[in-house]
Amino acid sequence: MPVSSRNYPFLRFAPERPCGNIILEVEGLSKTIDGETILDNVSFTVNNKDKIAFMGNNSLTSVLGQAQR
């Protein structure tokens, strides 16, 4: 078969420098939706190479962090 000339879309982000040890620091985050408190004074730190999972009521909804290839 001949080699395809098809180009697939992709995003590439080239950082200007490597990340530091602390990627994200959150302190005192609160959120209310329609009068119901969803988050109340949440604090956390995301360090380099940490893996984060956001869980929903029934299943894993999103995974963030370093991709395993």
Kindly give the parts of the chain with pLDDT less than 70.
Answer: 1-3, 56-69
What pTM value is reported for the model?
A: 0.54
Return the pLDDT at 10.
80
Return the pLDDT at 33.
84
17 located within any domain: no
15 located within any domain: no
Return the pLDDT at 69.
36
Tokens 């982000």 found at: 13
Return the pLDDT at 24.
94
Return the pLDDT at 12.
85
pLDDT, tens digit (0-9, with 9 covering 90-100), for 48-65: 989 887 776 654 444 433
42 located within any domain: yes
Cα 15 to Cα 20: distance, rounded to the nearest angstrom? 12
14 located within any domain: no
Count: domains in the chain: 1
Cα 53 to Cα 2: distance, rounded to the nearest angstrom? 42
